[in-house]
Amino acid sequence: DAKTTQPPSMDCAEGRAANLPCNHSTISGNEYVYWYRQIHSQGPQYIIHGLKNNETNEMASLIITEDRKSSTLILPHATLRDTAVYYCILRTNAGKSTFGDGTTLTVKP
């Protein structure tokens, strides 16, 4: 399975943009990049996904580089409730979604 690499932790000031990077240098042409987050011990929550174009929804924006080897999740105005573990994963044609260790984002007042 194609793998992703994320920094283990990041801090962000409340009200500022949080930019979470993800490397996926072995991504295949038909694999989508998905982002999820997990707050405390709740089930992971879907945030956004994309193939090659940048995407935006009510929660976040996703920037995918032209070569698709990396992406960045942007939370435009982070709040304390955005403190969570953020996972970047690839969705294979076979349907498997393999989660890595994710990035623990801490939003500070």
Instruction: List contacts with another protein (CB under 8 A).
Output: 32, 34, 36, 41-46, 49, 87, 91-102
**CA 43 from centre of chain:** 16
Quote the least distance from Cβ 44 to another protein, whole Å: 5
Exposed (0-12), middle (13-18) or buried (19+): which is 35, by Cβ within 10 Å?
Answer: buried
Output 23 or 38, the one with its CB closest to another protein: 38
16 or 52: CB nearest another protein: 52
φ, ψ at 61 (rounded to 5°):
-120, 150
Give me the residues paired with residue 5 across strands: 23
Shortest CB 16 distance to another protein, Å:
27
Nearer to another protein, 10 or 99 (CB): 99
